Amino acid sequence: MNGINNQEFTVSVIVTVYSETFSLIETIERLLAKDKGYIKEIILSVSPKSSQECISICQDLEKKYDILKMHLQKNNPGVGWAIREGIDLSTGDYIALLSADLETEPEAVDRMVSKIQETGCELVIGNRWLKGGGFENYDPMKYVLNWGFQKMFKILYLTSIGDLTYGLKTIKADIAKKINWEGILHEIFIETTVKPLKAGYKVEQIPTVWVGRKEGVSRNTFLRNFRYVNLAIKVLFTKKADLYL
Which residues contact Mg ion (rule: CB under 5 A)? 101, 103, 218
Q: Is the peptide bond before 140 cis (omega within 30 degrees of 0)?
A: no
Tell me how far, at minimum, the Cβ of 128 lies from ligand GDP, in Å: 12
Nearer to ligand GDP, 16 or 170 (CB): 16
**Does 73 interact with ligand GDP (rule: CB under 6 A)?**
yes
**Does 103 interact with ligand GDP (rule: CB under 6 A)?**
yes
What is the x/- site pattern for ligand GDP, positions 16-55, by CB under 6 A?
A: xxx-x------------------------xxx--------
Stretch that binds ligand GDP, among 72-80, 122-130, 133-141, 147-155 (CB under 6 A): 72-80
Nearer to ligand GDP, 47 or 205 (CB): 47
Closest-CB residue for Mg ion?
Answer: 103
Q: Tell me how far apart the alpha carbons of residues 199 and 178 are, in angstroms, rounded to a whole number.
A: 12
Q: DSSP states of the chain as a string?
A: --GGGGS---EEEEEEESS-SHHHHHHHHHHHHH--S-EEEEEEEE-TTS-HHHHHHHHHHHHH-TTEEEEE-SS-S-HHHHHHHHHHH--SSEEEEEESSSSS-TTHHHHHHHHHHHH--SEEEEETTSTT-EEES--HHHHHHHHHHHHHHHHHHT-S---TT---EEEEHHHHHHB-----STTHHHHHHHHHHHHT--EEEEE-EEE--SSS-----TTHHHHHHHHHHHHHTS-GGGGB-
**Does 122 interact with ligand GDP (rule: CB under 6 A)?**
no
Tell me how far, at minimum, the Cβ of 98 lies from Mg ion, in Å: 11
Nearer to Mg ion, 92 or 133 (CB): 133
CA 156 remoteness from chain centre: 22
Tell me how far, at minimum, the Cβ of 71 lies from ligand GDP, in Å: 9
Stretch that binds ligand GDP, among 58-66, 107-115, 151-159, 214-222 (CB under 6 A): 214-222
Stretch that binds ligand GDP, among 28-36, 58-66, 99-107, 113-121 (CB under 6 A): 99-107
Tell me how far, at minimum, the Cβ of 62 lies from ligand GDP, in Å: 15
Binding-site member from 219, 225, 229, 236 for ligand GDP (CB under 6 A): 219
Q: In angstroms, what is the C-alpha Rg of the chain?
A: 17
Neighbours of 207 (CB within 10 A): 17
The residues binding ligand GDP (CB under 6 A) are 16-18, 20, 45-47, 73, 77-79, 82, 99-101, 103, 186, 218-220
